[in-house]
Amino acid sequence: MAHVSIIGTGTMAQAIASVVGRGGHTVELLGENDQTQVTGDIVVLAVPYAAIPAVLAARGDSLAGKIVVDITNPVNFETFDSLTVPADSSAAIELAAELPQSRVLKAFNTTFAGTLASGTVGENTTTVLVAGDDTDAKSTLAGVVASGGLKVIDAGSLKRARELEALGFLQISLAANEKVSWTGGFGVVA
């Protein structure tokens, strides 16, 4: 059994909590401004990209030694025409640089909250793509997600977060333009 802390209380935080709970693991949801110490071995930062600096300022030290999961899509929501991170980087790579004592993973940014909650993207079982440089950390997170009834694919090193964020941006862009619904998007067929 894993014990998972989720920072954030929005729809993504709740959807990820439901996946963790379905797998029989314990989970705590903490508000962005909650000062309670995190107790999980896995800490999911389920906050908007813009809120990450405040979370790091408040909690950065307490994340040492933990698996930290970045789910953000750093979309420029004013233009909907680009990401706000440098083209040759990613939110996850930036986060890993800020948290050298943590094992940072990218996950959940290519799955809408609705597809995490339902477990399906159309006829496809929802697949969580995970990128990271620590194989054990990826295996631990994969086990939690799989026990919650979803599929998991190891997408490679943390460098692949750049492509995962491009995919997340594209999917959000398609939904915002009503080309796909917020309960659809990209399904993965193994």
Task: Select the span of 5-13, 18-26, 27-35, 81-89 touching a second copy (CB under 8 A).
Answer: 81-89
Calculate ∠ Cα 181-160-149, nearest 5°.
Answer: 55
Number of C-beta neighbours around residue 24 at 10 A:
11
Cα–Cα distance for residue pair 189/126, rounded to 1 Å = 10
Give yes or no for residue 156 binding a second copy (CB under 8 A). yes
Cα–Cα distance for residue pair 60/75, rounded to 1 Å = 23
Calculate ∠ Cα 72-155-73, nearest 5°.
Answer: 15
Give me the count of residues in the chain.
190
Give yes or no for residue 164 binding a second copy (CB under 8 A). yes
Give yes or no for residue 179 binding a second copy (CB under 8 A). yes
Nearer to a second copy, 48 or 114 (CB): 114
Give yes or no for residue 162 binding a second copy (CB under 8 A). yes
Closest approach of Cβ 117 to a second copy, in Å?
15
Cα–Cα distance for residue pair 179/162, rounded to 1 Å = 23
Cα–Cα distance for residue pair 112/120, rounded to 1 Å = 10
Task: Select the span of 59-67, 95-103, 120-128, 137-145 touching a second copy (CB under 8 A).
Answer: 120-128
Task: Select the span of 8-16, 43-51, 91-99, 149-157 touching a second copy (CB under 8 A).
Answer: 149-157
Q: Summarize as ranges the residues that interact with a second copy (CB under 8 A).
A: 81-82, 86-88, 121-124, 153-157, 159-160, 162-164, 166-167, 169-170, 173-174, 177, 179-181, 184-190
